[in-house]
C-alpha cells in the first residue's frame, strides 16, 4: 500500500478535525470516531509488519516529496528496524488509551481531539527522516500534552502542565541549534537524516562534541534521564490515566529513539567520546529512581519514578556503543517498558477510579476481594521487576550482557538496581494485596470490568510472548542494529 506511513500519521489528525464538528453532548459519536481513528492506524501497523522486510537495514515505506524548497525541507518518512517496533507500539498504546478514556466525561470533544493530535505527532516523530519534519512533529506533541494534563489532570495540573511544556521546549531549542549547525556544516546543505548520517564521520570533532551535547540535553529531558527528570513525577501524577499511559509508553521513548536515530549514527565521534558519561547518567538514574521509589506512598508516583529507573537501563545499554547486545537491550527495554508501564498506569487508574485514592497504605488484602485485578497487577509488576519469562527480564539481561565488557563496575552497580526494584515492588504488592483487608472498602471495590480487561489484555499477551520467545521482537531489529553498530564504529 502506498503512503502507508502517511496514512498512519494523518488518519488520527483527520479524526481529530472531524470531532471538532460535533457537539460536546454527542459523546458516543465522539468516542466512536476516536476509536475508529486510532484503530485504523493500528490496523495499518499490522499491514506494515506484514510488508516489512526484516532482512535488510534499508529504509522501507519511504515517501519523499519536496515541501519547502527554499529551506531544503522535504516531506520524507520511512521506517527501519528502530522505528517499526516504535510505530507499532504507538499505534497499539494509542488505541488502548483511547478505549481506556471512555470514562472521561468532562469536555469530551476537546479531550479526544487533543488525543488524536498527539497520536499524529508521535507517529510523525517515529517516521520522520527529515530534521525539520522531525522537529515539527516533536513540537506538535507539546500543545495537546499541555492541555491534556492541564485541563483533565489532578489537583496540581496547571503546575505540572506548564512544567512539562517549559522543560521540553527548553530541551528542544538546543536541538534546533544543533540541527542548524549540522545543516550548515554539510555541503550541499541538507536536513535529511540519511545524508547527514552518511556525512557523519566528516563532521569536525569539536562540532560533534558540541552538537552531541545539544542533542543530549533535548533527548535526556524527554527520556527523562537524571538530573533532567523532575518534570516527570509531576506530569505523571497529575495527568489523567490514559495520558500517563502515553507519556510513559511512547513519549519517554522519543528521547532514546532520538539518541539511536540521530545522535549515535550522525555523531559517531561524539558518541564514543561521551559513552562513559552516558553510562554513568544511566546508572545514576537506575539507582536513584529505585531509591526514590522505596520512599513513595503514592502508587502512581511509585510507577512514575520506576520509569526513571527503567529508562536508565536504556541509556546504559546504548552507551555500550560497540555492542549489538547493548543496543538491542536498549530497544527491547523501550518496547517492554512501554507495554509494562503503560499497563501499570492503566491499573493504577482502575483502582483510583474506584477508591479515589492512590495511597498505598490505604489498601490491604485486595487479593481476596479483587482476584482478577490483583492477578493482572502482580503479573505486570513481575514483568517490571524483571521476572524471567516476561519481557522485562529479556531486556535487562541483554543490557547487562552488552554493557558488562565495557563498563564492568558500572554494570555491577546497575545490577543492584534490579534488587532494589524487586524490593519496592514487592513491598507495594505486600501492602496492597496481602495482609488485612481494610474494611473501609467493603463492597465499594468491584473487580475489573470487561473494558478494563480488554485494554490490558493485548499488553499482557505481548509481554509474555516476548518473554518466552524474544525473536518475535528481535527479528525486526537485527539488521538495523548491526548497521547502527557499524555506523557508530566509523
- Beta carbon nearer to another protein, 151 or 453: 151
- Beta carbon nearer to another protein, 117 or 485: 117
- Residue pair 222/254 in contact (Cβ under 8 Å)? The answer is yes
Side-chain half-sphere CA neighbours of 220 within 13 A: 21
- Beta carbon nearer to another protein, 51 or 158: 158
User: Closest by alpha carbon to 215, among 146, 277, 279, 261?
Assistant: 261
Instruction: Compute CA 46 distance to the chain's CA centroid, rounded to the nearest angstrom.
Output: 19
Quick check: 36 binds another protein (CB under 8 A)?
Answer: no
Stretch that binds another protein, among 159-167, 270-278, 454-462, 468-476 (CB under 8 A): 159-167
Stretch that binds another protein, among 140-148, 296-304, 423-431, 446-454 (CB under 8 A): 140-148
Report the nearest approach of another protein to the CB of residue 179 (Å). Answer: 9
Quick check: 142 binds another protein (CB under 8 A)?
Answer: yes
Site string for another protein, 165-204 (x = CB under 8 A): xx--xx--xx-xx--xx-xx--------------------
- Beta carbon nearer to another protein, 50 or 70: 70
Position among 11, 42, 123, 161 found at the interface with another protein (CB under 8 A): 161
Stretch that binds another protein, among 33-41, 53-61, 63-71, 308-316 (CB under 8 A): 63-71
Quick check: 143 binds another protein (CB under 8 A)?
Answer: yes
CA–CA gap between residue 172 and residue 177 (Å, rounded): 9
- Beta carbon nearer to another protein, 139 or 195: 139
**Phi and psi of 230, rounded to 5°?**
-70, -20
C-alpha cell at 221: 529531558
Site string for another protein, 71-110 (x = CB under 8 A): x---------------------------------------
Secondary structure of 36-63 in HEC code, one letter for each residue = HHHHHHHHHHHHHHHHCCCCCCCCEEEE
From residue 90, alpha-carbon distances to 102, 121, 252, 283 in Å are 19, 10, 12, 27
- Beta carbon nearer to another protein, 173 or 416: 173
Quick check: 17 binds another protein (CB under 8 A)?
Answer: no
How many helices (H) and strands (E) the chain has is answered by 23, 2
* For helices 324-355 and 391-404, angle between their N-to-C axes, nearest 10 degrees: 140
- Alpha-carbon dihedral 409, 414, 420, 421, rounded to 10 degrees: -160
- Beta carbon nearer to another protein, 88 or 132: 132
Quick check: 123 binds another protein (CB under 8 A)?
Answer: no
- Tell which phi-psi region holds residue 3, choosing left (phi > 0), alpha (psi between -120 and 50) or beta: left
CA–CA gap between residue 14 and residue 1 (Å, rounded): 19
Strand-pairing partners, residue 65, are: 75
Position among 88, 146, 216, 400 found at the interface with another protein (CB under 8 A): 146
- Beta carbon nearer to another protein, 8 or 140: 140
Instruction: Provide the H-helix boundaries in 296-407.
Output: 299-319, 324-355, 366-369, 371-385, 391-404
- Residue pair 266/182 in contact (Cβ under 8 Å)? The answer is yes
Quick check: 50 binds another protein (CB under 8 A)?
Answer: no
User: Closest by alpha carbon to 337, among 398, 378, 386?
Assistant: 386
Quick check: 295 binds another protein (CB under 8 A)?
Answer: no
- Beta carbon nearer to another protein, 121 or 285: 121
CA–CA gap between residue 75 and residue 9 (Å, rounded): 12
CA–CA gap between residue 256 and residue 85 (Å, rounded): 13
Quick check: 135 binds another protein (CB under 8 A)?
Answer: yes
Length of the chain counted residue by residue: 490
Report the nearest approach of another protein to the CB of residue 158 (Å). Answer: 5
Quick check: 222 binds another protein (CB under 8 A)?
Answer: no
Report the nearest approach of another protein to the CB of residue 161 (Å). Answer: 8
Quick check: 157 binds another protein (CB under 8 A)?
Answer: yes
- Which residues fall within 8 angstroms of residue 162, CB to CB, at 6 or more apart? 146, 150
- Beta carbon nearer to another protein, 69 or 443: 69
Quick check: 70 binds another protein (CB under 8 A)?
Answer: yes
Position among 36, 68, 294, 419 found at the interface with another protein (CB under 8 A): 68
Position among 7, 62, 139, 434 found at the interface with another protein (CB under 8 A): 139
CA–CA gap between residue 455 and residue 94 (Å, rounded): 11
Position among 22, 43, 67, 102 found at the interface with another protein (CB under 8 A): 67
Can you give the binding site for another protein, defined by CB under 8 A?
Answer: 67-71, 132, 135-136, 139-140, 142-143, 146-147, 150-151, 157-158, 161-162, 165-166, 169-170, 173-174, 176-177, 180-181, 183-184
Amino acid at each position: 500500500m502506498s503512503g502507508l506511513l502517511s496514512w498512519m500519521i494523518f488518519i488520527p489528525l483527520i479524526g481529530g478535525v472531524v470531532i471538532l464538528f460535533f457537539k460536546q453532548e454527542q459523546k458516543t459519536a465522539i468516542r466512536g470516531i476516536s476509536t475508529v481513528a486510532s484503530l485504523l492506524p493500528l490496523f495499518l501497523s499490522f499491514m506494515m509488519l506484514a510488508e516489512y522486510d526484516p532482512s535488510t537495514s534499508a529504509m522501507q515505506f519511504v515517501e519523499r516529496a519536496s515541501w519547502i524548497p527554499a529551506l531544503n525541507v522535504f516531506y520524507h518518512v520511512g521506517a527501519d528496524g528502530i522505528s517499526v517496533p516504535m510505530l507499532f507500539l504507538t499505534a497499539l498504546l494509542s488505541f488502548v488509551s483511547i478505549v481506556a478514556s471512555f470514562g472521561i466525561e468532562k469536555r469530551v470533544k476537546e479531550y479526544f481531539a487533543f488525543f488524536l493530535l498527539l497520536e499524529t505527532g508521535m507517529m510523525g516523530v517515529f517516521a520522520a527522516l527529515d530534521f525539520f519534519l522531525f522537529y515539527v512533529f516533536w513540537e506538535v506533541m507539546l500543545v495537546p500534552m499541555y492541555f491534556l494534563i492541564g485541563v483533565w489532570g489532578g489537583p496540581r495540573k496547571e503546575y505540572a502542565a506548564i512544567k512539562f511544556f517549559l522543560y521540553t521546549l527548553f530541551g528542544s531549542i538546543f536541538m534546533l541549534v544543533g540541527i542548524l549547525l549540522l545543516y550548515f556544516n554539510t555541503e550541499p546543505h541538507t536536513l535529511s537524516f540519511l545524508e547527514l548520517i552518511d556525512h557523519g564521520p566528516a563532521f569536525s570533532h569539536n562540532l560533534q562534541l558540541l552538537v552531541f551535547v545539544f542533542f543530549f540535553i533535548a533527548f535526556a529531558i524527554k527520556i527523562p534521564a537524571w538530573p533532567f527528570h523532575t518534570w516527570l513525577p509531576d506530569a505523571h501524577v497529575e495527568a489523567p490515566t490514559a495520558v500517563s499511559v502515553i507519556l510513559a509508553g511512547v513519549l519517554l521513548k522519543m528521547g532514546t529513539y532520538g539518541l539511536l536515530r540521530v545522535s549515535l549514527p550522525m555523531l559517531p565521534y561524539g558518541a564514543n567520546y561521551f559513552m562513559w558519561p552516558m553510562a554513568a547518567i544511566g546508572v545514576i538514574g537506575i539507582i536513584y529512581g529505585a531509591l526514590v521509589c522505596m520512599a513513595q506512598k503514592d502508587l502512581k508516583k511509585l510507577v512514575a519514578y520506576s520509569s526513571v529507573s527503567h529508562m536508565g537501563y536504556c541509556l546504559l545499554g546504548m552507551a555500550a556503543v560497540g555492542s549489538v547486545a547493548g543496543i538491542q537491550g536498549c530497544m527491547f527495554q523501550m518496547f517492554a517498558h512501554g507495554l509494562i508501564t503503560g499497563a501499570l498506569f492503566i491499573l493504577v487508574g482502575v483502582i483510583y477510579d474506584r477508591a479515589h485514592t492512590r495511597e498505598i497504605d490505604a489498601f490491604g488484602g485486595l487479593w481476596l476481594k479483587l482476584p482478577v485485578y490483583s492477578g493482572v497487577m502482580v503479573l505486570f509488576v513481575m514483568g517490571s521487576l524483571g521476572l524471567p519469562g516476561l519481557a522485562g527480564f529479556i531486556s535487562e539481561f541483554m543490557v547487562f550482557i552488552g554493557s558488562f565488557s565495557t563498563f564492568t563496575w558500572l554494570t555491577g552497580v546497575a545490577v543492584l538496581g534490579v534488587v532494589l526494584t524487586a524490593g519496592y515492588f514487592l513491598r507495594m504488592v505486600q501492602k496492597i494485596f496481602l495482609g488485612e483487608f481494610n474494611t473501609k472498602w467493603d463492597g465499594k471495590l468491584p473487580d475489573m470490568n470487561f473494558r478494563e480487561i480488554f485494554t490490558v489484555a493485548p499488553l499482557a499477551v505481548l509481554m509474555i510472548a516476548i518473554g518466552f520467545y524474544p525473536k518475535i521482537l528481535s527479528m525486526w531489529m537485527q539488521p538495523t542494529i548491526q548497521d547502527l553498530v557499524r555506523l557508530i564504529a566509523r
